[in-house]
Amino acid sequence: MSDLEAFRAEARAWVRENAPHSLRGTSGSGPFEGYWGGTKCEESDRDLLRWRDLGIEKGWTAPSWPKQYGGGGLSYEQEQVIHAEMKAIGVPRPVAGQGLAMFGPVLLEYGNDAQRAQHLPGIARGEVRWCQGYSEPNAGSDLANLQLKAERDGEEFVLNGQKIWTSHANLSDWIYCLARTDPNAPKKQMGISVILADLNTPGITVRRIDLISGYSPFCETFFDNVRVPVSNLVGEENKGWTIAKAILGHERSSIGRSIARQPGSAQSDVVARARKHLGVPEGEIPDPLLRDEIAALGMLEEAFHLTLARNQQSAESGTPGAEGSITKIVGTELKQKRFELGMKVAGIQGLGWEGPGFDDDDLEYTREWLRSRASTIEGGSSEIQKNIVSKRVLGLPEGKK
């Protein structure tokens, strides 16, 4: 038995012995499923909190991070084994969120020792929640067009401007921002820096944004003469674009993987929904065209999981490259196909919003279907991802402008 297989047996035994039974089968164990934490968290589920504490004690909230930062000191391959064993029984990760999935890994690579010591342990313990300050009203897909100003004033930066679509800013403690520190840089990508800010800093205002689904994690975040210490600059001043792309790589890969769930789950969800609404409790679903659509969804899902497994086996580290855009494209489109097909089999029962005549599951499904429309936009639209794949993965020349 290889060392990794021996570790797999150890991890499987620990997860199955310690994971609370009430949490099993409730999650696909993606990077955004589980206890997000932070000072504004009011979590009351005792089993989820106990699972968090066990993960912290074991060092398995951030398995591959160094132990001095609250991690487990394990290899990337061992970390993937742990996550696979949690996913196998449908239990969430002990701690989840942007800090672990996106910002923490990049801070490990680009931050300095003081920044790592200040921020990483709180992320690993779920004590501090982070959000991302990237998009602006005129800098969405064209992210480098951002205009949030960060002007140097002695040992402080003074921030003025706005961010939009700031996911969970109202529940977060800190934000990592892209800011323009040199407005006269010859190219838009130059003159951008990554700056950290405590959301309790005077001058920061957060406002919720409502979505059509009736639920929204999104916010607007305003900066009005916000002063942060220069020590909150990550990496070199005016050279933050490389760091920004690294964070985006983690984000896009995480979005795609979080949608993956268990192999066959998307197809089985639609089958269950078809049986419910078509009155076919068992046996063959009578509509051959519907059967064909469900089978096509299942084949796409299986191919997606095989690709994820192949990428995982060949990965040398936890830093995703441009291929993360493929994960993001396929994962988000798979999610949309699942919800579209689920709405189709529901017929008029999929049109409910509130009131009598619709059960809670159908009402929730309708909202999730509406929410899924944003999946191919957030984190970089599918069109942007296809451009990245064409240039950086396939090596195709850019088109003439």
pLDDT digits (tens, 9 = 90+) for 249-267: 777 666 666 665 555 577 8
Per-residue pLDDT of 14-69, as tens digits, reads 999 999 999 998 876 667 788 999 999 988 899 999 999 999 999 999 999 999 99
Amino acid at 387: N
CATH, domain range 3-124: 1.10.540.10
**Cα 82 to Cα 312: distance, rounded to the nearest angstrom:** 13
Q: Per CATH, which fold does 130-239 belong to?
A: Butyryl-CoA Dehydrogenase, subunit A; domain 2 (2.40.110)
Average pLDDT, stretch 156-175?
96
Q: What is the pLDDT of residue 128?
A: 97
Q: What is the pLDDT of residue 195?
A: 98
**What is the model's pTM?**
0.81
Q: Which of 226-235, 299-308, 315-324 shows the lowest per-residue confidence on average (mean pLDDT)?
A: 315-324
Cα 399 to chain centroid distance, Å, stands at: 31
**Cα 120 to Cα 105: distance, rounded to the nearest angstrom:** 9
Report percent pLDDT > 90 for the chain: 51
> Start-end ranges of CATH 2.40.110.10 in the chain?
130-239
Average pLDDT, stretch 88-97?
92
**Cα 119 to Cα 19: distance, rounded to the nearest angstrom:** 27
204, containing H or E segment: strand 204-208
> Which one is predicted more confidently, 315 or 13?
13
pLDDT at 317 over 60: no
Compute and round to an integer the Cα radius of gyration of the chain: 22
Whole-number Cα distances in Å, 128 to 119, 185, 220? 8, 34, 20
Q: What is the pLDDT of residue 328?
A: 82
pLDDT at 399 over 70: no
Q: What is the pLDDT of residue 160?
A: 98
pLDDT at 228 over 80: yes
State the chain's mean pLDDT as an integer. Answer: 88
> Start-end ranges of CATH 1.10.540.10 in the chain?
3-124
CATH, domain range 263-393: 1.20.140.10
Instruction: Phi first, then psi: give them for residue 211, nearest 5 degrees.
Output: -110, 165
Q: Which of 90-104, 171-185, 290-304, 323-337 shows the lowest per-residue confidence on average (mean pLDDT)?
A: 323-337
Average pLDDT, stretch 305-310?
76
